[in-house]
Structure formats: structure tokens, C-alpha cells
Structure 1
């Protein structure tokens, strides 16, 4: 469906207000300055995770476990920031890297059935619910405080740690493939949309992809990460077990990182520098809309930060605060979907057909 793509809108976008089309520069910035560094950071954090697992498995003590947990949190932050790039090389890896809600029984069965030195061959026999970042999180934190360390120090702890390390190695391999794909060619495809790209035959196709996936990222935050545990979709009671990163207590941090990832696409890679992302195009056509998007982003950041961690506890103790964060994020999403997409003449993807 095409919203607001009238002649004036398209002419204004093509001219960029100064005789030049700004879209190539914006797409190049998003590809090379936002996406490539984000995927590179994701892989770097994954490699650091493997290193911490080596130390943990060699000596499973509180210090080594805390170091591994810190590495996992850094990796998770980097993962959350690539959420708006759910296109190109990423979709094929999504479930293997981030299957949630966690199925504890499946993970425990995988650990129990693992060889003493679990490896890629063994992981290849398992479904996605037994691997990825959420499964590794569960093994590093457990359901209750102290549970993970006790399990790692138990007689079967070596097998458990070896399995957790195998998960980290698998994540590192998958994120390496993603980083290589983006730096090795996919960034070129997006940056050259409409001028030689074999993926995006027009500038519009490249812009459509970027805007739609930012909207999808916001939809995932609102519907998947908040509406589900709030019970908004079914009328059920609040359910903290449906929240991501619930074992580590960083549900809010994941949402904040994902919102920052969307903002990097909209504003640009450096939040303190002049706009270089989608905002450039919006401001050329409708400065007041750009101001509204910026104000709503600031509002969403503010209310999200006001929800205490762990958000799983806040969900039950202060549902109103969690609902408010959900609502402000959704208002931001709707601005992107209904106003930004309309102004830029973006054809909305069917995947965001959620009734707006």
C-alpha cells in the first residue's frame, strides 16, 4: 500500500530541496556507517563471549561467572541494536540466534544428552529452541540467584559448561557470517540501490526496505516484547515468563538498545552529530514532522528508562509503568509507519499489516 506519494512529495524527495537527491547518501550512511559497524560489533562481542567461556569452564567460580555474564550482556546489547536490519543476510539466522521465550526443558534435555565435549555436530542435531543467546543466558543465570554457579560446580557441571561454550562458539560463527556478509558485499548492495545494485533496482526499493524494517523493529518491541507479557493480545494475566532476557534481568536494556538501533537508522550513526539518516529526507520535506519524531523518540526513551529493572518484576508490581512504555513506543512506531512512510512515499510491507 502506498501512502501519500503524491507528485509534490516525489518531486520534493527527488530534488532534495537543493537540486540533488539525498537518498543515495542516506542509504550509503545507513549501510556503511550504521549497519556494518553494528554487525562487526556483534561478532566482536560474540568472540569475547567465547573467551570468557573458556575461563569459566576452566575454573567455574563466582568471578569467572560474573565475567561471562558481563560478556553475554554486552553481546546482547549489540544484538538488540541490529534489530532494524532484519533483511538481507539476517532473517535466516534469527531463530538460531534468538529463539524466545526460552524452553527450559528443551535446554536441559540438550545438556543431558550432550557428549562431554559438545560441538557443532551435536548442536546440528538440535532445534533452535535449544541454542542461541536466550539458551546461553539461561545457563549463565538460571531461574534463581546462585542456581547457575551451583549447577556448573556440580559433578556434571563440566558437561553443562561445555554445552554452554558450544552455544557461544555457534553464536560466534553465525555472527561472523553476518558481519562478513554485510562488510563483504551487502552494504554495497544497499548503498548502490538504483545504480548497479542487484538486490535493489531503484532508490525507492532501498529506502522502502530500510524504513519498513525500522517499523518492523518497533512492531517487534511493542507487540512481541511487551504486548505478549502484558496480556494485551489475549486478555490473559501478565506473564513475566514471556519477556526476553528475563534470567539476566535486562529486559528493559534490550528494549533500550533496540530503540537506539532504530534511532541510528533514523538520525544517523552518531547521535551527537548532525543527522545523516532517514531524518535528512524527512526534514527536507516536512521539518515539523521531523521535530515530532524527535520529540516522540525522546519521550519513549524517558518513559522506558523510568521502568525499573528487572522489568519482569515491574510487570507485576507496576503494570502501569510498563504499559506506558509500551504506549509511547507504539506512538513512535505509528509516527514512522503513518507519517514518515507517507511523507517519503514508502510502500509499506505486508508484514506490518497490523490494523493501523
Structure 2
């Protein structure tokens, strides 16, 4: 059973907006007026836009708060989780008497790394792109055997020591999170890190992958710091690869929309397929069955992107600066519907394989796809128009 959504704090502003809308709806109509003259409802009056507002300054505030409240903390958490994984991998593989409980702890550290990455997976930008780190952290493409082939090729390299330096230069499929999943959750039960005949080599590769993940996460986090590459300054001021602050905002929205399409098309539809029982091997983490948990984390992250984790969010710009309460509420409502849907799926279905094979599960996942389309649609039309921004040409593709 997948545990329920744990990102409660980040939904504060979203919950307030939706609750307020529901209260307004509940207050309309009815009453004890018996006059023969119909009572005319009060006209809905939207706030007046602030004519003195500097939208560029508003965008700068958004970039600052998103960076400080969401991006840098997410990367810091990713470093913490990869370091714990690295420590656990070395402890496990150095113990000749490692048991099931030890392997379970190893898997738990890996699961924590997965979810830490899912929080920031959407931000395919800057330091994450340098040295193709995001691809090396998690190379995953439905229907390919790159991970299996990459790890199996490493297992055949018996005459040399596999370490983080070597791993960092091999095929991307053998470098990151999915490669370690293949070792921790092998397709064959005879190949576990406890009973495999080549346990020593498997552990050697596993620790090298864990080291590589820590090295990459540390490099990314460092480059966001003032003492490192100070990419924070690059983003919030819209310099270097950005032409302006607005350009930086447009790039983030493009990446957000692209990630919505990835969740919809690659994480759900590719596994759902056309008919039951679906294609479970196409799921993002089919060996470990972390797929639904990862989608849950992704949807929670969409709230963080929209609200800047309680800072100056897009919701504030729409509501306070642009007097577009209706659009802000609509975005909140569409995201909340998807969040609610994935929570229901997690509660009612034991795993992703059963979800894509079960009639009710397939119906729920299909409804989730519709809700993701609804998020994308409001973002690509009303949201972009209200903010007077545009996105990359392929950000809104897919249905």
C-alpha cells in the first residue's frame, strides 16, 4: 500500500483559496425573501489591477522565493539523501553477514533518494544540465533496455574495479537511480545483494553508483550557492543564458508544462497502454513499485511551483497584482483535483501493476490523465495570457 501524500504544509494557500471559493458557493441562493420582485444577485466584482505594479519586479520576487523556498532546499535534501544512501551502501556491502533487514534499510535509503529527486526532477535547468547530470541521475525511457544492458555489461567487467570515476563515464543507463534499482530489486530472486553468486561484484557496482549519485547531487547543490557557481543569482536576475527576468520565468513555466506531459504520457499512459493489463515494465519504477509514490510527489511539487512554497507565488501575482482571482482559483482547483485523485488511487490500490490491470484502477488513472490535461490547458491559455508570457514551442504538446 502506498503511503498517502505527506506534503501537507505546502497546500496551505491552495486550501485557503479553494475553501473560500466553496464558502462563496454555499452562501449563494435561497433565503427567506417572499417579495414578488425577484432579488437581483450582487454582481461579481473582480479586484482592480494595480496600474502601478511592476510585473518584472513581481517576477523577480517569484524567482527569489521559488529558489530559496523550493529549489535550493530540494537540492539540499537530495544531497542529504544521497549521502545517507552512500553510507548505507558501503556499510551493507562491507558486511559479510548482511541480512534481509540490512537489505531493507538499503532499499529504504534508495527510496528516499528517489522521492527527493522527484521533488526537483522537473527543473531540467542550469547545474542539473551541466555534464548531463539530470540524465545520468535518472535515465529512464519507457520500452528501452538501457538500464538492464548497462548494468549487465558492468557485471561482466570482472578484471577491473568499478568505482565512481568509472561509473561516471559509462552509458547513462548504468549510472544512476534506475541502475541501482536494478541491483536492489533484481528481476530474478537468485540475484539479490544477499544471495547472488556474484554478490561482491554487484555490491561493488552498487556502492560506485551510490558514490556517483552523491557526487552529482553535491555538485548541483554547490553550483546554486554563492560560494559555488552562484546559479541562484543567474536565475533570479535573468542573466547569462537568460535574456531577462521574464525569460527566466518563461523557461521555468516551460519546464513545468513539459514535466506535466512527462507524468501524463510517460509515467501513466505508457504503462496504462490501450487495454488491460497494461504494460507494467513501462512504469517509471516497475521493479520497486515506487511509480505511484513518485507521481504523488510530482503533483505535490506543482503546488510548490505555483505558490513558491508560501512566498510570492504565481497565485499572489494573479490575485493581488493582476486582479485575476478566477484564474488563480482555477489553477488551484485543477491541481487539487489531481492531488486528490492520486491520493484515492494510493488508498485503494496496492501497486501500480494492479492499478493498470484493474478496471477501477484504469478508470482512476484515466481520470488523472484528464486532470493533468486540465492543469496544462489552464496554464497554456488563461495563465499565460494573464501573465503576458510565452513558453517554448514544445512545452504544451501532447494530449
Aligned residue for 2:394?
Answer: 351
Identify unmatched segments of 5+ residues in structure 1: 1-10
| CA 199–67 in structure 1, closer or farther in 2 if over 3 Å, else same | same
> Deviation at 1:312?
2.5
Contact 2:190 2:196 in 1 (8 A): no
2:303 equivalent to 1:263: yes
Aligned partner of 2:234 in structure 1 is 189
**Alignment correspondent of 1:5:** none
Question: Conserved in 1, the CA contact under 8 Å of 2:251 and 2:391?
Answer: no
Contact 1:293–1:335 (CA under 8 A) maintained in structure 2: yes
Does 2:58 match 1:16? Answer: no
Tell whether 2:67 aligns with 1:26: no
Following superposition of structure 1 onto structure 2, how do residues 322-341 of structure 1 map, counting pairs within 5 Å?
322-341=365-384
Q: Which residue is equivalent to 1:209?
A: 251
One of 129, 141, 156 as aligned partner of 1:112: 156
Alignment of 1:276 onto 2:317: no
Q: Note if contact 1:116-1:162 (Cα within 8 Å) is conserved in structure 2.
A: no
How far did 1:339 drift?
2.2
| CA distance 1:190–1:250, change in 2 (3 Å) | same
Q: Distance in 2 between matches of 1:302 and 1:137?
A: 28
For residues 190 and 60 of structure 2, what CA distance do their matches in structure 1 show? 52
In 1, the alpha carbon distance for the partners of 2:186 and 2:286 equals 10
Uncovered stretches (5+) of structure 2, i.e. residues with no partner: 1-47
Native 8 Å contact 1:217 1:262 kept in 2 = no
C-alpha distance after superposition, 1:319-352 (max 9, x if no partner) = 2122222221221122222221221111110232
**CA distance in structure 1 between the aligned counterparts of 2:138 and 2:211, rounded to whole angstroms:** 15
Whole-Å separation in 2 of the counterparts to 1:200 and 1:31: 16
- Counterpart CA distance in 1 for 2:204 and 2:115 is 24
Give the TM-score of the pair, scaled to structure 2: 0.77
Query: Where in structure 2 are the equivalents of 1:57-68 lying within 5 Å?
Result: 57-59=93-95, 60-68=98-106
> Comparing 73-82 with 120-129, which one deviates more in the overlay?
120-129
* Between 82-91 and 215-224, the greater mean CA deviation after superposition: 82-91
**Counterpart Cα distance in 1 of 2:50 and 2:77:** 33
Matched, 1:313 2:354: yes
Larger Rg: 2
1:228-247 paired onto structure 2 within 5 Å: 228-231=270-273, 238-247=278-287
Count matched residues. Answer: 334
Whether the aligned pair in 1 keeps the contact of 2:271 and 2:278 (CA below 8 Å) is yes
Give the direction of change, closer, same or farther, for the CA distance of 1:153–1:68 in structure 2 (3 Å limit).
Answer: same
Match of 1:43 in 2: 79
Q: CA deviation at 1:117?
A: 3.7
Q: Does 1:297 align with 2:335?
A: yes
Aligned to 1:97: 137
